[in-house]
Amino acid sequence: MEEGVILTRILAISDIHGHADALHSLLHAAHYNNKQDLLILLGDYTGNGAHNSKTIQYVKDLVNNGAIALKGNHEQRLVDQKGINDPAYANWSRFFSELPYFYEHNSYLFVHAGLRPGIPVSEQTADDMMNIRESFHQHHFTSLNKVIIFGHTPTYRLGANLGSIWVNSDKIGIDTGANHGYFLSLVDLSNRIQYKVNVRENVPAEMAF
């Protein structure tokens, strides 16, 4: 994003898991404008969706045009396995290895899985930021003075209705189960709007949260 540009919205999406068409549909439904909107992608770009290669290329293109992409556990797995002996994955692993584990902007902190309670952000381990679950979900991070936006754990496992994001006083979970054949969601944090699409039908809908 160009320096000095006034942001219109802060948008976030997580756990795309190979659903490139659903990602495209959501960005279109939200009228994403890379010149004015800040888009943060929270990791796990590959998975059970039919278009892993297409999804990664799409994410790279978004990053090249100003979006921020974080590393999830699926990306780390590819880096650790050195592309699974596949030349295409080897190229992606180079891209993945350069992705950050978290991103802070104004009153938000974005991370794939979460944070370890009681540890400063600067001292968090990569493993926790990509894989932590219960201890993060159950802890209140009021001293951080930021709302943590995370994915990794499908929100229905946190008690949210299927297809809904999970909203807590200091956390917002936005993985709505695309990897399990349910929904992919894009959240407009500036206007408190959730855009979602059932990955089997690819018909976007929107609602306030």
Residue 23's pLDDT is: 98
Q: What tokens does 13 get? A: 């999406």
Q: Which helix (H) or strand (E) holds 150?
A: strand 147-150
pLDDT above 70 coverage of the chain, percent: 93
Among candidate residues 61, 77, 164, the one with its CA nearest the CA of residue 112: 77
Residue 84's pLDDT is: 53
Q: CB count, 10 Å around CB of 155?
A: 24
Amino acid, res. 83: G
Spatial distance between the Cα atoms of 62 and 69, rounded to a whole number of angstroms:
9
Q: What is the pTM of this model?
A: 0.93
Averaged over 37-60, what is the pLDDT?
A: 94
**Residue 78 banded pLDDT, cuts 50, 70, 90:** confident
Identity of the highest mean pLDDT range in 1-15, 43-57, 129-143: 129-143
**The total number of residues written for the chain in this structure:** 209
Spatial distance between the Cα atoms of 130 and 132, rounded to a whole number of angstroms:
6
Residue 81's pLDDT is: 76
**Residue 89 banded pLDDT, cuts 50, 70, 90:** low
- 3 or 56, greater pLDDT: 56
Could you give the domains of the chain? 9-208 (3.60.21.10)
Residue 1's pLDDT is: 54
Spatial distance between the Cα atoms of 90 and 149, rounded to a whole number of angstroms:
29
Contact 62, 31 (CB under 8 A): no
Instruction: Inform me whether the pLDDT recorded for 2 exceeds 80.
Output: no
pLDDT tens track for 21-44: 999 999 999 999 999 999 999 999
Residue 94's pLDDT is: 79
- For residue 29, how many C-alpha atoms fall within 13 Å in the half-sphere facing its CB? 22
Spatial distance between the Cα atoms of 101 and 158, rounded to a whole number of angstroms:
22
Spatial distance between the Cα atoms of 183 and 185, rounded to a whole number of angstroms:
6
Among candidate residues 5, 11, 53, the one with its CA nearest the CA of residue 31: 11
